[in-house]
């Protein structure tokens, strides 16, 4: 009986830990002047890490009306991160290579 209560308490602890807002991070890789995904869907408050696995520089930015941002130049082998704290659709591009596009949907 006692062990059953203990097991239940442990299970409850796990549930509580799972509910704790841990800011998740989605990793997107840029290679051959392309993002490895065309669309991603994340939750408000989560961040996206843009890894530059290319041999050239990239510059992540967005001119979306619901939140403009510019992460600046990311040299080869480096990465830049962006926390999306507003819901909406963000069209993210590279300022150096206009054909590089990814849509970030923040729920």
State the minimum distance, in angstroms, from the CB of residue 83 to Cu ion: 21
Q: Which residues bind Cu ion (CB under 5 A)?
A: 58, 94, 96-97
Q: Which residue's Cβ has the minimum distance to Cu ion?
A: 94
> Cβ closer to Cu ion: 56 or 87?
56
State the minimum distance, in angstroms, from the CB of residue 97 to Cu ion: 4
> Cβ closer to Cu ion: 79 or 88?
79
Q: Residue 46: how many CB atoms within 10 A of its CB?
A: 21
Q: What is the DSSP string of the chain?
A: -HHHHHHHHHHHHHHHHHHS----EEEEEEETTEES-SEEEE-TT-EEEEEE-SSS-EEEEE--TT--EEEEEE-TT-EEEEE--S-EEEEEEESS-TT-EEEEEE-
State the minimum distance, in angstroms, from the CB of residue 9 to Cu ion: 52
> Cβ closer to Cu ion: 30 or 46?
30
> Cβ closer to Cu ion: 67 or 101?
101
């Amino acid at each position: 009986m006692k062990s059953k209560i203990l097991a239940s308490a442990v299970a409850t602890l796990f549930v509580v830990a799972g509910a704790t807002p841990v800011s998740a991070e989605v990793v997107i890789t840029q290679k051959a002047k392309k993002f490895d995904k065309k669309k991603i869907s994340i939750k408000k408050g989560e961040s996206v890490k843009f890894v530059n696995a290319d041999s050239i520089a990239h510059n992540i930015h967005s001119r979306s009306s619901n939140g403009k941002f510019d992460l600046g130049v990311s040299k080869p082998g480096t990465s830049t991160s962006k926390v999306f704290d507003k819901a909406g659709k963000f069209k993210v591009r590279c300022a150096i290579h206009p054909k590089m596009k990814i849509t970030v949907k923040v729920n």
